[in-house]
Structure 1
Amino acid sequence: MSLEISHLSFAYGRRTRLVLDDVSFSVKEGDLLAVLGPNGVGKSTMFRCILGFLRNYRGNIRLNGLDIKTLDHKEIAKHVAYIPQSTHPVFNYTVLDVVLMGLTNQVRLLGTPNRSHIDEAYAAMENLGIAHLRDAGYGEISGGERQLALVARALVQKAKILIMDEPTANLDYGNQFRVMCRISDLARDGYIIILSTHNPDHAFLYANRTLMIYGGRVIADGTPEDVLDAGLIKDVYGVDVHIEDYQYGSRRHKLCIPIDGGVGKHE
């Protein structure tokens, strides 16, 4: 499984500025790519292009070597799943019902899930540690549990590429940790994970690749340890930070620490 983006450019109108400007990168099985950048730099637009929702872009997006413009939405959904930010639902479906919604590319229109589908959904929930919530109302569980239910829905879809738009937004510290650990486990199992985040520490702790987008362009691409430095964070976010090496037992990684709060120190 592979995904390759080459010279991707996109604007919402002929006379408007480019939201994406010559973006290129590729991912392979087992990659967890953290996409960073301020609000409004094109991260969500890039995701919508990859998912086939936006087609009038320049450049190429290839899924297993195939141009996605030649694939319909059902074909794309066989390989790519989208996990949005957790939101409070209008209808209080059970968690199992929400997970089963990932079968839309497998069940006929007006069809119903069979026993094997239900077993697959339950197995995905069990893999993510939320099987005990099977009959709970989706609107009555925590934000972290709702996010894991959306991940389970993507697993039932059987797509091997998971695109996540700020999966830890609005989650408390504990739920952020639990969700990111589960996501990291999926990458180790061979899934391709592409997620956007505003937290450099998520990249240091969980990702093996980082893509920094600024002004619609890729300004850094590589391992978090190689490309995320204090100068880049200051240039992009306008915050003074110190990148600290941290070791606890056998585990070693970097941390991003604001200097005196980080605000007002840049020129």
Structure 2
Amino acid sequence: MKTKIYFDNDRFIAGTTLKNALELEQNNMALHTCVNVTNVLENRKKLAATLQCDLNSFICTQQTHSANFHKVTIADKGRGAQQMNTAISNTDALYTLEPNLLLCSFTADCVPVILYNEVNGLIGVVHSGWQGTVKEVTLKLLQHLMEHEQCKPQDFHVQIGMALSQQKFEVDVDVYEKFHNLGYAEDFMYFNAETNKYHIDNQQTVKKQCELAGIPSEQICIDATCTFLSPDGFSYRQDKQAGRHLSFIMRKK
């Protein structure tokens, strides 16, 4: 099972699966875009074995590029793990204080965000495509955690996962204006006069949202791997039939 582990200590494990030509459907992890559901379940079972957990520990959502988030409890265990219709609907971010639950986010160019709180053990994942970034899903989740879960920003560590690079993220003026209207993304965009396109760094914009929530910048890491350019990456922009990475985090105890 080809995975990239971002951190693995006595309390948390987090990482992402990678595209791999040797696996079924190149190691696609998404039930909503696959040739055969059985192939995806086989890939997920391999991941579960690698992480020494059970497939029914997975918690998955039906992602809709929203700013909606969900607090996971033990009652949610296994939702979306083996079939789409049990996944948590219309949700793009998850968090929990429970141990031994694998929070899942699926991407192929969008920005995955993985976070943990080293004091109270809270963990979370976010799916932030450009629409989610414009809706400030990461910022809204973090603000909620400060207000309702007694979290302090300095206790968070954030991993921003592999995504479409600024070089490859070309957009027209309509998307540029949405980022411009945020009021803090100007440094993460440039205009290419030859192609008449704007280029946006979605990862840096999400990092800025974490900083606006108060998280110290040195506690935010970015995986600079471009999903379009890397052989390890699934890219929807490159291939509309692309599979999906699964970014994950689990609290061990």
TM-score scaled by length of structure 1 = 0.31
Larger-Rg structure: 1
TM-score scaled by length of structure 2 = 0.32
More helix by share: 1
